[in-house]
Structure 1
Amino acid sequence: MMNLPQTIPVLLLGTSLAVLSPQVCPAFTVQEVASLAQASNNLPVVKSAGLSPDMDVPWSKPVRIVDPFEGELLGVFDRNLLGGNLYRGGSKQVISLWTPSSIRVLVTVNSDRASSSFFYTAGRVYPRPDFLQFVTTRKVDKLLLKVRGKVFQLDGSTGTFAVSQELATALKNAPDENLDIRLVLEGGQTVDSKIGKETVKSWRNIY
C-alpha cells in the first residue's frame, strides 16, 4: 500500500506561500493560520530588504518586507550608533535585519574632512571651514551573539548569516533586555555593539 504524504500546514503571507515543515513547526489550526496571516497584513510595509547607511524604516518593530527580488518576508530592522553622533569623525553605525532565515549586518564608519573657504562681508574677508562627510562600509565576516549566557558564533559572507532552529528558539526566548553582539570585520578588527531590548521583544513575532 502506498503511504500518503503527511499533511503540511501552510501560512499565507499576502500573496506569498510559506510551507511549514512538520519536523520544525507545530501544527496550526485553521483559526491560527488565519490569525497569523491577518497579523502579518497589519504590519508596516517596507519595500526593500536592502541595508544602507541612510535608510528610513520603522526601527525595532516587526514589519512586512515586500522586496522586488526576494519576495515577501517578515523582519525586524535594528540600528545602533557607536560614538554618540553619526556625523562625528570615527563614529560607527551598526544596522541589522533579522528575518526567520537570516541575519544581515551592515557596519558603516563616518569620517569627515575639513576644507577652508572664505566669505566676504562688511568689507572684510573671513575664513569658513566646510566639512564634507564620508561614510564607508566594512565587510563583516563573523557575528557573535550572547543569549542567556550562551555564545552563538556565525560565519557568513557579505554580512549575511543563516539562522538555525536552535538560534531561532534562543532569539524567540531571549529576555527583555539589551543583547550583546560582536562583529568581526575583514582583517580581524572587532566591533562590539548591542541590540536594543525593543528589537529583542519584536523577535517573538519573527521566530
Structure 2
Amino acid sequence: MKCNFDSIGFVIGSFVLLGVPQSISLVSTFELFTSIYSLDSNITLLADRDELEQAPSHDSLQSIDAEIDYPIVAADTWMTEKGVPWSELVMIRSEHQDDYLAVLDRFYDAESSPNHPGISSLWSRQQLQVYGYGQCIYCEVEHPAYPVSAASLKVGDRVFHLQGGDSSFVISEEVAWALKNAPPYEVWLRIAIAGGSNYTTRPIGPNTIAAWQTLYQDAEPVEVAALPEAPTTQVSRLPDNLPADLPVIDESTWRQQSGVPWSQPLIVRDDFNGDYLAVLDRDYSSSGFFSRTTSGILTNWSADQLAVHAYEEEESYLMSYSCWSVRQLVLQIGQQTFYLKGENNIFRISDDLASVLASQPLETPRLSYPQSNGEVITREIGPGTVEAWSVIYGTAEVE
C-alpha cells in the first residue's frame, strides 16, 4: 500500500507557489439525545485479520425511535462528501445492509499537509472506519481519503491498539466502555497511512465524545484478564539526568522533516506511548533541474525500536509526494549483517544489535530497503548518528 499526494503548483526559480487553500479546524455542534435505543450488542474482540473479514461489516440497528429524524448519510461517500453533519448522531444508509446509527468526526487544521493529513472517522457500535483526510484543489476529489493500515486510540491515560486494517477496526466491548465514559478533550486517535509509512495523531471533538454516550450506552465493563492480549508498541522511556536543553520534537510530525535536528540525541514527545530518547537520521539523493526528483529514507533510532519513513518527492508543474510500507531492512555494519523484519515501518532492536550500535563502529553503516518499484537501494547512516548511538544504546552521557 502506498500514500500518494498530488497538488498543482508553479515553479519559478527555486520558489514553488501552491494552489492549496488554507483549512481550519471543524467541530460542529449537536444536540445530545437522551432517548434510549436498542442496539445490537453482539460485540466480538477479533484477534486477527481473518476473523475481521468474516465478521459483519457493520452492526444493524434493531429498532429506531420513530420520533427521532436522524440525518441520512451515504455509507460509501461520507469520507469525501460535502455538507456532512459532523459530530452528531446520523443514520448510515447502504444498499448492501441495514441502516445503522453512527457519529462522524473530522479534524484538520492550517498545519495539515500531504505528509500530515487530517483524520475523518465513522464510529458505529461495533466498528470504527477511519481515513486520512487530504486536500487537493485541482484533483477530481477536493478532499481525497487515504486508507489507514493501523489505528490506536488514547482515552484519558489508556491506550488501545485497535484490531483490524484497511480503514476498518473493531470496537471491542472494552473500547466501547471506555468511549462511553470518555472525558471531553482527552481522546486522541493515531493512524498509520500507507502501511505505517506516515503517522498522524489528531484529537476527537468534544461533541463526538458526547454522542458516544448514546451510541455506546449499552456497553458494560469487561474484566481485562478475560480479554485476548492485544498488540502493544513498546518504546524506551526517558533516562534520568538528561540535559534540560535537549531538542524536543513530536512523534507525529518528525516525518515532515521541517526543523528536525538530525544526527543528535533528542527527545521525541509521544502522547501515546511515553516520551523517549532518540536520534534521527536522513539520507537522500536528488536528480533533475526543472523537474526535480528527491528520494530518501528517514530513520528514528530509539532504545527499543527503529522507525523508518521511505519517500519520493517530485517537483515540477505537478508536485507529488509518495511514501510506502517497508517491512524488511538489511543493516550492514562492517562485517556484520542484520536482517530486520517489521510491521507498519517499525522494527525491533534486539540486544545483539543494540550492543553493536553502542560500540560506535568505525565503518560507515549502510541500510538497504526496497523502493516503491521494488528495486533495492542502499543508503548510508551519517557519522553524527553513529556517534549518538553510544548515548541511545550505551552508557555515554548526552553532552
Q: How would you bin the TM-score normalised by the shorter chain? A: 0.5 to 0.7
C-alpha separation between the residues in 2 aligned to 1:87 and 1:104?
Answer: 33
Instruction: Summarize the Cα distance change of 1:174–1:193 in structure 2 as closer, same or farther, 3 Å threshold.
Output: same
C-alpha separation between the residues in 1 aligned to 2:391 and 2:290?
Answer: 33
Q: How big is the alpha-carbon RMSD for the aligned residues of Structure 1 and Structure 2?
A: 2.5
State the Cα deviation string for residues 25-58 of structure 1 (Å, max 9, x = none): xxxxxxxxxxx62235442222325542443211
C-alpha separation between the residues in 2 aligned to 1:171 and 1:149?
Answer: 13
**TM score, norm. by length of structure 2:** 0.36
C-alpha separation between the residues in 1 aligned to 2:272 and 2:350?
Answer: 23
Match for residue 136 of structure 1 among 314, 317, 322? 322
Aligned residue in 2 for 1:94: 297
Mapping for residues 36-47 of structure 1, pairs under 5 Å: 37-39=240-242, 41-47=244-250
SS at match of 1:174: coil
1:140·1:158 contact (CA, 8 Å) conserved in 2? yes
C-alpha separation between the residues in 2 aligned to 1:52 and 1:188?
Answer: 22
Aligned residue in 2 for 1:13: none
2:334·2:364 contact (CA, 8 Å) conserved in 1? no
Aligned residue in 2 for 1:73: 276
Instruction: Summarize the Cα distance change of 1:45–1:54 in structure 2 as closer, same or farther, 3 Å threshold.
Output: closer
Instruction: Summarize the Cα distance change of 1:141–1:201 in structure 2 as closer, same or farther, 3 Å threshold.
Output: same
Amino acid at match of 1:194: E
Mapping for residues 58-69 of structure 1, pairs under 5 Å: 58-69=261-272
Query: Is 1:55 the equivalent of 2:258?
Result: yes
SS at match of 2:255: coil
Aligned residue in 2 for 1:190: 376
Runs of 4+ in 1 over 3 A off after TM superposition: 84-90, 185-188
Instruction: Between 91-100 and 38-47, report the one with greater CA deviation.
Output: 38-47
1:88·1:111 contact (CA, 8 Å) conserved in 2? yes
Amino acid at match of 1:76: V
SS at match of 2:275: strand
2:286·2:295 contact (CA, 8 Å) conserved in 1? yes
C-alpha separation between the residues in 1 aligned to 2:257 and 2:382?
Answer: 19
| 1:90 to partner: Cα distance | 3.4
C-alpha separation between the residues in 1 aligned to 2:329 and 2:376?
Answer: 10
C-alpha separation between the residues in 2 aligned to 1:100 and 1:55?
Answer: 24
Instruction: Summarize the Cα distance change of 1:88–1:194 in structure 2 as closer, same or farther, 3 Å threshold.
Output: farther
Amino acid at match of 1:143: L
SS at match of 2:357: helix
C-alpha separation between the residues in 2 aligned to 1:87 and 1:158?
Answer: 34
Instruction: Summarize the Cα distance change of 1:88–1:181 in structure 2 as closer, same or farther, 3 Å threshold.
Output: farther
Aligned residue in 2 for 1:155: 341
| 1:84 to partner: Cα distance | 6.0
SS at match of 2:292: coil
**TM score, norm. by length of structure 1:** 0.66
Query: Is 1:199 the equivalent of 2:378?
Result: no
SS at match of 2:343: coil
C-alpha separation between the residues in 2 aligned to 1:73 and 1:51?
Answer: 13
Query: Is 1:179 the equivalent of 2:365?
Result: yes
2:249·2:267 contact (CA, 8 Å) conserved in 1? yes
Instruction: Specify which structure has the higher proportion of strand.
Output: 1
Aligned residue in 2 for 1:32: none
Amino acid at match of 1:141: R
Amino acid at match of 1:178: T
1:74·1:99 contact (CA, 8 Å) conserved in 2? yes
C-alpha separation between the residues in 1 aligned to 2:290 and 2:323?
Answer: 14
Instruction: Summarize the Cα distance change of 1:171–1:206 in structure 2 as closer, same or farther, 3 Å threshold.
Output: same
| 1:171 to partner: Cα distance | 0.7
| 1:100 to partner: Cα distance | 0.3
2:306·2:349 contact (CA, 8 Å) conserved in 1? yes
Unpaired segments ≥5 residues, structure 1: 1-35, 114-130
Aligned residue in 2 for 1:167: 353
